Every structure is written in structure tokens, then in C-alpha cells.
Amino acid sequence: MRIYDHVKFGLMALEWLLSIPGGHSVPLTPQLPTLCSRNSVTVAQNSSSVWPWQEYTSSSAKPPYLEINATGEQLAPGLIFFDPQTGINPRSYIPDQAPFIMTDTGDLIWSGPVTPDASNFRVQELYGEPVITYWAGSGGASSSASASHGYGHIVIQNSSYDQIATVCPSFNLTLPPGQSAPCQADVHESFITEDNTILVTAYNITSANLKDLGGPEEGWVLDPLVFEIDLTTSEILFSWSPLAHVPITDTKLPLLGAGENISNPFDFFHTNSIQLFEGNYLVNSRNTWTTYLVDRKGNILWQIDGETGGDFGGLPEGGRFSWQHYARIARLSHTQLQLRYFANNNGDPTTSNPSVGLEFLLTVPPATDHPPQLLKNLSDPLYPAASLAMGTHDILSNDNHFLGYGIQPVMKEFGPQDPQGRDVRWSARYNFENGAASYRTYKTNWRASPSTKPSLQIKKVGSGSNVSSGLDGIECGSSEIRGYISWNGATEVKHFVVYTGSDENSMTAVGITRKQGFETEFAIPEGYGHKFVQVGAVENNHSGVVMKSAIMQM
């Protein structure tokens, strides 16, 4: 029988094995047995004051441990995308500050590059294909050097995690004195539109009259500009200046001495989200508590204010909001829009108002005699969270709602029915209160097959009665050799084929092992007299190996 026939026969047997209860205890075939295996993740914690993290043998990744509570009620399908960064709590410690993809059961899927300046990690679509994108700070004026904003570039990767584009715009901005940035896109938005353009923010320091706020007549402000850029030509298709269209006195942020010099500009507006909507731009301002619909000529078509309701009239009970993030709008009918927010409701660390997910029904064109209707006010009554900044509120494929709490290391999935948020079906914490932050957090579908090889490590575990301890399956025997296999970013792996050989040119399939978690530990069969090991990944929609690891010596 050829090697290919061995593998094919083993795959057919595995399909049968996985379809019966307790099938892992049933032998498959002498030619290609199922090797005993387990999820080999280790939860590490060097002191009780440090939040635990996960470690592996075949990977250097150190994602946070997710403390999960789930009711068992139906959750939406999808993976968690987030990028934990050090928070404001003195107990803050994160071994890896990186973008991560994880399951809602806490298993790692992908660990991205370790960097303190990665943010807004998410799935988008470009030219009809799914991609992942994230912002990364660069130069002396990255986010670590500038309060509440940053300067950097946007990374775009395909479903093999190959970097296919880098968005690195230069807008000739005035930066903080002594600072430079080769790329000047801001951290707050990187929205790819249906037209294959990208919306970004960029913070420019400029002079302004602050006399009406009690500041200097020749003061300084941050003007958080809005840009739309053609991803093919890098042409700027649209730009908008809040300073040119919104009175500085609309701000809700106290001056507190800011704006007196160029080194401390006043952040009167703070653009934190942009969405292209029916040819116009939905621009959200944290510091005016207002969202604006802006046309392509720069005119403000309407605005909704978290205190008064703006052009839409008074807000309903439970509908007032402040310091909000992530404004997103959708058309429901010719005269109705759905608008949602993550409402932080906290402007400084001294307050502890519950942060909530809001959803409104708006009648357009706006009229004060048709005020907004409140559809959702999502706040966990048992475990409310007060988030000073950042945050996300998405509607999932099954109409569940997913909230990321920004500067609080918490994320929650709510059921679709209860408008008051009592139906919290899933929640996860990835650090102590204020101990970590993720600017935005998403739950979304993602399928990926990495272009890199699976990572394999081999260890001798020693002899004795505990050789097979913790492993399930068959064919453990008395083997003292363990393999540890992971494939960073793979979402479709069903199992791995294990090969051994006396040299690198005589590798033969000797078993299959089920994928278990991010890293699978498996027993390597003895009795072949072989010195080398290799592992090949088999995906759900393939009948053969799609990628092999390097060959390792036992």
C-alpha cells in the first residue's frame, strides 16, 4: 500500500471515529492509528498580583488567559479579535502586547507581532476578499508619545496572513514639537469601504481662539481630520476639518489649562469613528458628545447630541449618552435608521457610571416632533463596567450584541430580546480592572490557512507509569517521545498526520492525531527505529495534507 493510501484510509477511519460517542477509545487501523493526544496549553502566573497568561512548547506566544462565564444560551458563531495593551492599573502586566484571535472558549487561534502600538484589529473586506487589518504606531510620535491619539500606519493581511498592503499616509501635519512620523494615520479609525477606499483619522495641531472657553486668544488645539484615501492610487478623495465646521464652544471637555502652547493642544473634538453611509460620512466626536452626518462637500446634514438629541429632538429615558465611541448606522427603511453606540458615560477617572451599548431608531429627515426611540440599553446589572475610553458595540449574525469595554479588560455577548441587557449570555475578562485595554474588540467569522509552516517541537518525557498521563486516545504504549504541534492562525485544521523516518528522505506516515486547542501534544510511536519526525496538517475541506512542518530529529 502506498503512503497516500495509508493516509486516505486513516482519514476515512477518522471520519467514522469522530461520528460515534467515545470513539477515541476505538482502534482505527494498524496501518494508520490515532495517536493519543491532548491540548497542551499551560496557564502561567508568576504571582497573585499578575493576571495569568497561556504558554506553549511549540510557540512563543503568550496570550492572556480568558476568565469566561457562559450561561449555555445560544451564542453567535465567530472568533474574538482584540489587542490587549497595558492599562492604567499599577498591577498591569501583559507578557505579549499583540493582536490576538481567540475562540469564545479561550483557545488561541493567532498571535500577531508583539508591539505596544497595535490597535483596532479586525476583519474587513477588500476587493471582495476577507482581510485582517490593524493600526500600528510608528516613529517618534506614535501613540506612546501622544495622549489619546497616535501616528502610524495600517497593516492589511490576507487569509494566509501575508501582508498585502501598508497604508502609510503623510498629510503634512503639525506634530508635537520634536516629534516625527513617517506615517500619519491616527489610531482611531481604519474603515475599508465598499468602494475599496479607506477612512482614517489624523490629528493636526493648529492655532485657534480659546477665549470663549477661558483660554488664550492665540491658543492651540488638536484638529482631528477625516480622510478618505483610494487604496489603489493613494489619492485623497475627501478631507474634513472639524475645526472648520464645529464651534469650539460645543466641546464638553474642560480646558484645564490645555491649549496655552503647542506642546499641550486642547482636544476639543476627538474624532474616534468614521463610517461611509450612502455616500456621506458619519463622524463621531467623543468630546462634543455628538455624531455628525457630513456630505461630500463637507456640510453637516444633521447631528445627534447625547445631551439634547440635537436635530432629532429630546432623547428618551435611558437614552442620554456621553464620551461615546464606535457610532455605526444602518438603513432600516426609507424613513428609518438604526444607530448604535458604545456609550462610555465617563469623562475622567473619578466617575464610575455604567458604560452601556445603546441602539436607537431614528426617523429621517430629522424632526423634533419625531424624537429617537431607544431600542437597546445594554448594561449587565450584576457586573456593570465603567469604561473611561474606547469600546465597541456590534450586532452579530444571530442578532446577539457584542460589547468590548475598551479601557476595561472585559467583553460581553448579550442575547437579542431583552432591551435592558439582562440576557448576558457570555462574558470574558482578560485582566484585572483597569489592568489592560483593547481599543476595540470584535467577534466575527474568519477562515484562514497560513502560508507559514506548522511549528513542531519534540521532547523526551521520561519513562514510568506516568508516561501516558493526561493523554487520551490509543497507541500511547510506553513511548517516551512527545510531539508538540501548532499552526499559528489556522482555523480549519481537523487533524495532523505524523511521519517518521530513519532519515529525511524516508519519511512515512505512522499515525494521525486530532487537533486539540492551539497546540496539540501527542505521543510518537516507538518501534520503528526512526530518528526523524514531521507533521502535516489536514483541513476540513481537504482530503490530504495541505502544509507540513519542518523535519525534526528525535
pLDDT tens string 60-100: 999 999 999 999 999 999 999 999 998 877 677 888 999 99
Residue 419 confidence (pLDDT): 72
Q: Is the pLDDT of residue 304 over 70?
A: yes
User: What are the pLDDT digits (tens) for 255-275?
Assistant: 999 999 999 999 999 999 999
pLDDT band at 117; cut points 50, 70, 90: confident
What is d(CA 26, CA 20) in angstroms, rounded to the nearest whole number? 10
Residues 224-257 have pLDDT tens digits of 999 999 999 999 999 999 999 999 999 999 999 9
H/E stretch holding 482 reads: strand 481-486
The chain-wide mean pLDDT, for the chain, equals: 89
The residue assigned the cell 444633521 is 302
pLDDT at 94: 87
pLDDT at 28: 31
Q: What is the CA radius of gyration of the chain?
A: 27
What pLDDT score does 478 carry? 64
Return the pLDDT at 49.
Answer: 84
**Confidence check: pLDDT of 136 > 80:** yes
Residue 533 pLDDT more than 80?
yes
Q: Which of 506, 544, 477, 488 is nearest to 35 (CA)?
A: 477
pTM of the model: 0.91
Determine the Cα–Cα distance for residues 397 and 78; give it in Å rounded to an integer: 9
pLDDT in tens, 471-481: 654 446 567 88
Model pLDDT, residue 475: 46
Kindly report, residue by residue over 187-206, the tens digit of the pLDDT. Answer: 999 999 999 999 999 999 99
Mean pLDDT for 21-26 is 30
- Which 8-state DSSP code applies to residue 289? T
pLDDT in tens, 319-364: 999 999 999 999 999 999 999 999 999 998 899 999 999 999 999 9
Band (pLDDT 50/70/90 cuts) for residue 530 is confident
Reported confidence tier of residue 9, pLDDT bands at 50, 70, 90: very low
Start-to-end CA distance of the chain, whole Å, equals: 26
Q: Taking residues 525-540, report their average pLDDT.
A: 87
Domain map (residue ranges) of the chain:
3-41+450-553, 63-444
Is a pLDDT exceeding 50 seen at residue 511?
Answer: yes
The CATH superfamily label for domain 63-444 reads TolB, C-terminal domain (2.120.10.30)
| CATH 2.60.40.10 fits domain 3-41+450-553 | yes
| Cα–Cα distance for residue pair 410/228, rounded to 1 Å | 32
| Pairwise CA distance, residues 495 & 7, whole Å | 12
Q: How many residues does the chain have?
A: 554
Is-contact 315 371, C-beta < 8 A? yes
For residue 112, give Cα distances in angstroms to 82, 91, 453, 554.
11, 24, 15, 29
